[in-house]
Amino acid sequence: MKNLVNSEPSNTASQFAELSLAQAVRAMNEVEFSAQAYAEALLRKAREQADLKAFITIDDEAVIAAASAADRARSAGASGPLLGVPLGVKDSYLTNGLRTTLGVSNLKDFVPAHDAGVISAVKDAGAIVFGKNNLVEMSFGLTGDNSPFGQVKNPHARERISGGSSSGSAAAVAAGIVPAAFGGDTIGSIRVPASLCGVVGFKPTTGRWPRDGVAPISHALDTTGVFARSVEDCELIDQVVTRASPSTTSEEGDLKGVRFAYAPKQYLDVVDTDVEARFYEVTRRLRDAGAEVVEIDLGDEFSTLANSTTWNLFFRETREAVAGFLQENGVPTSFDEIYRDLKSGLKEVWQHLVLPTGAQWLTPDAYHNALTADRPKIQRLFIEAFAKSGAEALILPTTPCPAPEIGKENEFLIAGKQVTFAALANNTIPASGAGLPGISIPMGKVSTDLPIGIEIDAPADSDLRLLTLARRVEALGISSL
Q: What is the CATH code for 9-480?
A: 3.90.1300.10
Q: What is the pLDDT of residues 297-309, one digit of tens each?
A: 999 999 999 999 9
Q: What's the pLDDT at 2?
A: 47
Q: What is the pLDDT of residues 199-257, one digit of tens each?
A: 999 999 999 999 999 999 999 999 999 999 999 999 999 999 999 877 655 667 789 99
List the domain boundaries for the chain: 9-480
Q: What type of residue is 335?
A: F
Q: Which residues does the chain have with pLDDT short of 50? A: 1-2, 5-6
Q: What's the pLDDT at 49?
A: 98
Q: What's the pLDDT at 12?
A: 65
Q: Are 200 and 442 in contact (CB under 8 A)?
A: yes
> Residue 300 contacts by C-beta under 8 Å, 6 or more apart in sequence?
none
Q: What's the pLDDT at 244?
A: 85
Catalytic residues: 90, 165, 189
Q: What's the pLDDT at 396?
A: 98
Q: What's the pLDDT at 468?
A: 97
pTM of the model: 0.96
